[in-house]
A = this chain, B = another copy of it.
C-alpha cells in the first residue's frame, strides 16, 4: 500500500509560507513538465490508474472516514457526491486511462507562414504553466483535474473540499506514484495540505506563480474566486439554458428533445431551465410538450398562454426567467418567432448553451449566428454541453467566460502558444 500523502501542517507553519513553498515547487515542476515527452506523461497516467485500482480498498476506507465525519451535517445529495464505491473508483482509473489516450496538444503547430523577407513564423502550442484548481466535495475531481493538467504539460495545485480530504489525499498519492514511475517530478500534481479556508485566499493572491485558477463548485465558490483572484479564472458561473421550439419544428422531435433537455438530469449545467415556444404554433405544440414535462414530474411555471394550455402549470414571476433551478422545474412562455426567442435569450440567458428546434435552415442559421452563447445547438438537446460529448475527452469544466477558453475546457484549452521564428540573418530595416 502506498503511504497517504503527508499533508497536515506542522505546528508553527503559516499558510502563506506553506503556499509559497508549494508555488515554488510547482513552478520548478512546470518547467520540467513543459518539456516532458508524450510517452512519459501517458506512462504517468497509466501508472496512476494502476495504483488507483490496487489501492481501491484504501481509497474506500479513506472515503468512509470522510463520510463518517460529515454524516448528519450534509444533505443526502451532498453525501452522494462525496461517496465512492468500487464502481466509482474503477471509473476514476478508467478516466485516467482515457486522458492518456487523448492526443497530446503540446508542440502542435497551430499555423505556419513565411514572410516576404524569408522569416518562417510558426505558432506552436505550449503548456500554460501552473494551474490552480479549487473544488468542492467530489473526490474524483482530484484525479480528473490532475490528469488533464498533467497531459497538457502543466503543474497543478489542487485544493479540494474539506469534506473529501481523506479521499482526495488517497487519490492524490496514486497520482504522485504515477508521476514518479514515469520519471516526472513528484510536484507536478500537488495537493494543498490544509483544509483551512485561508489557503484559498492565499492561492488567489499567487499571481505570477499560478497562471490560471479553475473553480469547480457552486456559485458562491465561483463568485468568491472571481472576486478575489489576482490571476485569470476559467469560471463556470451559470447554465441558464433555453430550448426554443420554432414554428417550423417537427413536433415529435421537439417533444423528445425538450423532455431530454430538462429531465435527463436536472442538476447538470446543460439542463434546460426555460422553454420558449413560437406563438405561431402555441395552439398545437404547447399542450403535448407541457404534458410530457408535467407527467414526468416537472413543475412548469408559465405565462398566460402556458397556464391556459395546461391547468397544472403555475404562474411564472419575473425572476423565473433568470433562475437556474437545477431541479425538476422549468419556466415556459410563448415568444414572437425566432426574433423574440433571440431577444429573450440574449437578455435573460447566461451565454452558456441554448438550442433551437426547427426544420427551417435559414431560421436555424440566424439563431446560430445571433445567440451570444458558448454553445448554440440546432435540433439537439442542451444536455450535450459536455467535453466528452463534444469528443474533447475529459474536461475540467465548462467556461462561461469568453477569454481563452469558452465552453468545455479540455487539454487544448489548458495550453497557450508561442511563436517560433526561423531566420537566415534577417535584420529589421
Please report A residues at the B interface, Cβ cutoff 8 Å: 31, 34-35, 113, 115, 119, 121, 126, 128-129, 211-212, 232, 250, 253, 256-257, 259-261, 264, 346, 364, 368-370, 372-381, 383-384, 389-391, 401-404, 406-407, 416-428
* B390:A253 contact, CB within 8 angstroms: no
User: How far is the CB of A370 from the nearest CB of chain B, in Å?
Assistant: 7
Q: Tell whether, in the assembled complex, residue B426 and residue A384 are in contact, meaning their CB atoms are under 8 Å apart.
A: yes
CA distance A407 to B374 in the complex (A): 25
| Whole-angstrom CA separation of A417 from B405 in the bound complex | 8
Contact B35 A378 (CB under 8 A): no
Query: Is chain A's binding surface mostly helix, strand, loop or mixed?
Result: mixed
Q: In the complex, which residue of chain B has the Cβ closest to the Cβ of A212? A: B403
Contacts A406-B417, A418-B376 given; does A425 touch B113 at CB 8 Å: no
User: Are B416 and A380 closer than 8 Å at their CB atoms?
Assistant: no
Contact A391 B423, beta carbon cutoff 8 Å: no
**In the bound complex, do residue B421 and residue A375 qualify as a contact, i.e. CB atoms below 8 Å apart?**
yes
> Is A256 within 8 A of B425, CB to CB?
yes
Quick check: A374 and B418 within 8 Å, CB to CB? yes
* Interface contact A250-B418, CB-CB below 8 Å: no
Kindly list chain B residues whose C-beta atoms are within 8 Å of the C-beta of A211: 402-403
Assuming A35-B370, A372-B34, A406-B417, is B121 touching A379 (CB within 8 A)?
A: no
Q: Specify which chain B residues have a CB less than 8 angstroms from the CB of A232 in the assembled complex.
A: 232, 401, 403
Given that A115-B391, A404-B403, A416-B402 are contacting pairs, would A384 and B128 also be in contact in the complex, using a CB cutoff of 8 Å?
Answer: no
Contact B113 A264 (CB under 8 A): no
**Smallest Cβ distance from A396 to chain B, in angstroms?**
15
Residues on B with C-beta less than 8 A from A390 are 115, 121, 419
Which B residue sits closest to A250, measured CB to CB?
Answer: B425
Chain B contacts of A257 at CB under 8 A? 425, 427
Interfacial chain B residues near A368, Cβ < 8 Å:
420, 422
Chain B residue at minimum C-beta to C-beta distance from A382: B428
20 CB contacts below 8 A, A to B, read A119-B384, A126-B372, A128-B403, A211-B402, A264-B427, A368-B422, A373-B418, A376-B420, A379-B423, A379-B426, A380-B426, A380-B427, A381-B427, A384-B423, A402-B416, A403-B404, A404-B404, A406-B416, A406-B417, A407-B419
How near does chain B come to A229, taking the closest CB pair, in angstroms? Answer: 10
Report yes or no: B129 in contact with A402, Cβ–Cβ below 8 A. yes
Closest B-chain residue to A415, C-beta based? B402
Inter-chain contact B428/A375, CB cutoff 8 Å: no
List B contacts of A417 (CB < 8 A).
406
Evaluate contact between B364 and A422: CB separation under 8 angstroms: yes
Question: For the complex, what is the distance from the CA of A34 to the CA of B376, rounded to whole Å?
Answer: 16
Identify the 5 closest CB pairs spanning chains A and B, nearest first. Answer: A380-B423, A260-B427, A402-B416, A404-B404, A383-B428
Out of B113, B378, B418, which one reaches A375, CB within 8 Å? B418
Known contacts A126-B372, A256-B425; 11 additional CB pairs below 8 A are A115-B390, A121-B391, A232-B403, A257-B427, A260-B427, A261-B427, A377-B422, A378-B420, A378-B422, A379-B422, A379-B423
- Set of chain B residues within 8 Å of A253, measured between Cβ atoms: 425
B residues less than 8 Å from A261 (CB atoms): 427
Shortest Cβ distance from residue A12 to the other chain B in the assembled complex, whole angstroms: 31
CB distance from A364 to the nearest CB of B (A): 7
Residues of B within 8 A of A259 (CB): 427
Inter-chain contacts of A404 with B (CB < 8 A):
403-404
Minimum Cβ distance to chain B for residue A359 (Å): 10
Q: Give the nearest-CB partner of A421 in chain B.
A: B377
Chain B nearest CB, measured from A95 CB (Å): 19
Q: Contact between B119 and A428 (Cβ–Cβ < 8 Å)? A: no
* CB nearest to A34 among chain B residues: B372
Contacts of A416 in B (CB 8 A): 402-403, 406
Q: A421 near B115 (CB under 8 angstroms)?
A: no
How many Å from the CB of A372 to the closest CB on chain B?
A: 7
CA–CA, A242 and B28, complex, Å: 22
